[in-house]
Chain A
Amino acid sequence: MSSSPFPARFRRPWNEHPLSLPANVLWVFTVLLATGVGLLSDFSILAWLAVVGMTIAATGVTWVVRSTLDSPNVSSKPSDVMKGTSLWKDALRRWRRHQMATASSVVLLTIALACASQHALIHLVPIAMNQRTIDFAPDSFFSLHIDHTRTHEGHTYQPPSSRHWFGTDSLGRDLFARTLFGGGISFLVGLVGTLVSVAIGVSWGATAGYAGGRIDTWMMRAVDILYGLPFLFLVILIMTLVNGLGTIASKAEQRYAEIEMNRAQGDLAQVAALEEKITAEERTALWMTRLFPPIVVVFIAIGLVSWLTMARITRGQVLSLREREFVTAARAIGAGPLRIIFLHIVPNLLGPVIVYSTLTIPEIMLSEAFLSFIGLGISEPSCSWGTLASEGLAGINVIKPRWWLMFYPAAALSISLFCLNFIGDGLRDALDPKGDRR
């Protein structure tokens, strides 16, 4: 590295280099943008210029990093062991060494932020299935790229272009907006489902592990039995029941609408006759679907079936933590059981639970996608990456390969799942207390 134009004091090992992360992230986004632009049907000189610009920037940053890179085992700074660096800071330093994990977290954050801002904009601008209180011009940015419910007349089945980046579907809705919206729903299902599974799994496992003895045996036997059940069938059963309820409920809703109409016309005899016709079942179904909207049922159903591994992991951790010497030392100090569980055991549990959660999110997102793909789960007018992909599959045929309908949602889902898995791997290494402390 004698040819480096930079003085030696600028040299940094990879995980301390301030530009290492930007270099990686720039390359990832350059590739993503180039793919996106390359798939547009009309030539767009501005987009190509952006791709070229990003490529130049990425090359430049990479060159700077390469020429100031120090070998990783020579620390440039004297170790600051005695300054109160916490375990979390140590973990962060180990995490920064994982290039895939750091780059993945940036990509995932970008996707999640884009989806979240689409949802935010949609809710800020009140629209409900084409009943807008504010009407945007058909060619405005909001209508073209944000509003996932607007049907662009004469623009059905458009391939990706500089007007509709990801193309349009059979109703002329912009697929970019729908992909963002579906992503929001997918992430929501993944997060809430994981929270449900963490809540159940951690409390079940921690209780079993801390109680020990017979209670532990019975609680874990229950988990073993549940492991043996074909869970997908259970979820499918639940979802089918919910869908059936939904059909009855929508019938009831129609009747109520009819009643309202008659009442407005003053036809009281007809109102009474119609009210007579509404059965108790229909009332219950309506009440149930209002209480548990389908999306909530998806959260609960998936969360309910994915806590088993979490319970096992937690129980194993608590069993070994309970016997650790520092727990005995805490008892020797006179600390009570609550203090020991919450001050001494739970923080030591956090690492594995966080790691396993990051691996549960993609699992649950995938289950949701699968359920939606086979027609259960999220239903119109809402959508998720799973439903979009399944609609896309229906739209594909040999004569007119409308590949974009399936390609973009599926690609977004795959990229997110990749990222989550890499992040999980990185976290596992970073949060491992036995990892080296350099």
Chain B
Amino acid sequence: MTALLDVVNLRTSFPTPSGLVRAVDGVNLKVEPGGSVGIVGESGSGKSVLSLTIMGLVACPPAIITADKIEFEGRDLSHASQAQWRGVRGNRLAMIFQDPMTSLNPFLTVGDQLAEPLIVHRQASAADARNKAKELLQRVGIPAASERLDAYPHQFSGGMRQRVMIAMAMACEPALIIADEPTTALDVTVQAQILDLMREIRESAGTAFVLITHDMGVAAGFCDEINVMYAGRVVERGSTRSIFRDPRHPYTKALLESVPRLDDPPGGRFLPIPGQPPDLTSLPVGCSYAPRCRWVQPGCLETAPTLVPVENDPARTKACFVDMADPKGQV
């Protein structure tokens, strides 16, 4: 089966007065039809820039974007024109943003905004678009949909607005939805509802998802595969189960340890990651995680590790020289 989305060696950098910010630095990403891939990392690790680049929403000057391949549904998008991008965006490839409070236009009714993708891509008539918008609202579980079509975003709660955003993303039945921290701005009970809704959509419509989050717990509940991102690079990749059971990268391990769990003993280990994320304008020569790493070895400071398969598990890759089980057994 060919991949739905195949990104190879994607780099996005921003020239700034203090130097070139390498926000995304050679990322590979593959999403199968109907799959769900998680991208996890601290804030500032380049997750949003990665998703916006895949959506073609990073303005190319000033940003510098290079990629060996950005293939979506068999079409290469790395040289697409603006018009081609517009034909894909919102149609086959949709996005859900982090903050539902600000990603809806305060001056348009919810119905008008839901109808917009249909009008843009399907040339729907106003009446058709309105009917479809009503169906979409019902689909995402908003009661009294026909009355709420004429309401304005400020009359909706955060959870309801995120449902509207999801409905908008679904409007043209896209093959892939990129959700950039869709639950971060919501409180915990609403988070679970939104994730349930996304899971339900994935199962019934077969839509593939890329879920971006800084929360390992959220990714665990939703994704089949997890990519751990650090300083613009993917440092570890594997199936959700294997990553949780046996993290192979010190950063992944630290991320997992920093999440409080119900089965933690009271007063037990709950470790925040020490240090700060690195300055993306001047990354260290070696591994960019080395300054914060508990297992750091002299070799880590000299050469940067690349993403290589883990010995006994070919489906997993990591970018680290250290074997955490036996730190002395450095490659």
A39 to chain B, nearest CB (A): 49
A343 to B106, CA, bound (A): 11
Q: Mark A81-105, 1 if CB is under 8 A from B, else 0.
A: 1111111000000000000000000
**Complex partner residue of B107 from A82, A331, A348, CB under 8 angstroms:** A348
Whether A332 lies near B109 (C-beta < 8 A) is no
Residue of A with least CB distance to B51:
A332
A332 to B152, CA, bound (A): 20
**Which A residues are in CB contact (< 8 Å) with B168?**
329, 333
Within 8 A of B (CB), among A58-112: 81-87
Whether B91 lies near A334 (C-beta < 8 A) is yes
Given A332-B90, A334-B121, A335-B116, also A326-B105 (CB < 8 A): yes
Whether A329 lies near B97 (C-beta < 8 A) is yes
Within 8 A of A (CB), among B163-199: 165, 168
Given A82-B155, A437-B154, also A330-B94 (CB < 8 A): no
**Which B residues are in CB contact (< 8 Å) with A132?**
none
Query: What is the interface size of chain A, counting residues whose CB is below 8 A from a CB of the partner?
Result: 26
A345 to chain B, nearest CB (A): 9
A329 to B103, CA, bound (A): 6
**Which B residues are in CB contact (< 8 Å) with A331?**
57, 89
Q: Mark A1-22, 1 if CB is under 8 A from B, else 0.
A: 0000000000000000000000
Does B99 count as interface, using CB distance less than 8 angstroms? yes
**Which A residues are in CB contact (< 8 Å) with B107?**
87, 347-348
Whether B147 lies near A333 (C-beta < 8 A) is no
Within 8 A of A (CB), among B90-127: 90-91, 94-95, 97, 99, 102-109, 116-117, 120-121
**Which B residues are in CB contact (< 8 Å) with A84?**
109, 147, 150-152, 155
Given A333-B117, A333-B120, A339-B120, also A86-B152 (CB < 8 A): yes
A83 to B156, CA, bound (A): 11
Does B67 count as interface, using CB distance less than 8 angstroms? no
Q: Mark B131-163, 1 if CB is under 8 A from A, else 0.
A: 000000000000000011011101100000000
Whether A333 lies near B105 (C-beta < 8 A) is no
Does B88 count as interface, using CB distance less than 8 angstroms? yes
Given A343-B108, A344-B105, A348-B107, also A333-B89 (CB < 8 A): yes
Given A333-B120, A335-B116, also A325-B97 (CB < 8 A): yes
A347 to B150, CA, bound (A): 17
Does B87 count as interface, using CB distance less than 8 angstroms? yes
**Which B residues are in CB contact (< 8 Å) with A325?**
97, 99, 102-103
Whether A329 lies near B104 (C-beta < 8 A) is yes
Does B75 count as interface, using CB distance less than 8 angstroms? no
Does B86 count as interface, using CB distance less than 8 angstroms? yes
Within 8 A of A (CB), among B28-56: 52, 55
B285 to chain A, nearest CB (A): 34
B53 to chain A, nearest CB (A): 13
Residue of A with least CB distance to B111:
A84
Does A336 count as interface, using CB distance less than 8 angstroms? yes
Whether A326 lies near B154 (C-beta < 8 A) is no
Q: Mark A317-334, 1 if CB is under 8 A from B, else 0.
A: 000000011101111111
Whether A85 lies near B57 (C-beta < 8 A) is no
Does A433 count as interface, using CB distance less than 8 angstroms? yes
Q: Mark A358-382, 1 if CB is under 8 A from B, else 0.
A: 0000000000000000000000000
**Which B residues are in CB contact (< 8 Å) with A330?**
105, 116
A330 to chain B, nearest CB (A): 7
**Which A residues are in CB contact (< 8 Å) with B55?**
332
Residue of A with least CB distance to B89:
A334
**Which B residues are in CB contact (< 8 Å) with A87?**
106-107, 152, 154
B199 to chain A, nearest CB (A): 22
A140 to B87, CA, bound (A): 72
Whether B117 lies near A334 (C-beta < 8 A) is yes
**Which A residues are in CB contact (< 8 Å) with B104?**
326, 329
A332 to B148, CA, bound (A): 23
A85 to B108, CA, bound (A): 12
A57 to B217, CA, bound (A): 70
Whether A333 lies near B57 (C-beta < 8 A) is no
A395 to B253, CA, bound (A): 92
Whether B106 lies near A348 (C-beta < 8 A) is yes
Count chain B CB atoms within 10 A of each CB in A325, A329, A336 and give the residue with the most: A329
A324 to B99, CA, bound (A): 11
A29 to B86, CA, bound (A): 59
Q: Mark A400-438, 1 if CB is under 8 A from B, else 0.
A: 000000000000000000000000000000000100010
**Which B residues are in CB contact (< 8 Å) with A339?**
120
Whether A82 lies near B151 (C-beta < 8 A) is yes
User: Which 10 A-B pairs have CB atoms at the shortest separation, nearest pair first?
Assistant: A334-B90, A333-B90, A84-B150, A347-B107, A334-B89, A325-B102, A329-B103, A332-B95, A325-B103, A326-B105
Residues of B within 8 A of A (CB): 52, 55, 57, 86-91, 94-95, 97, 99, 102-109, 116-117, 120-121, 147-148, 150-152, 154-155, 165, 168
Residues of A within 8 A of B (CB): 81-87, 324-326, 328-336, 339, 343-344, 347-348, 433, 437
Instruction: Given contact pairs A84-B151, A333-B116, enumerate 12 new A-B contacts (beta carbons under 8 Å).
Output: A82-B147, A85-B152, A326-B102, A328-B57, A328-B103, A329-B168, A332-B57, A332-B90, A333-B117, A343-B116, A344-B108, A347-B108
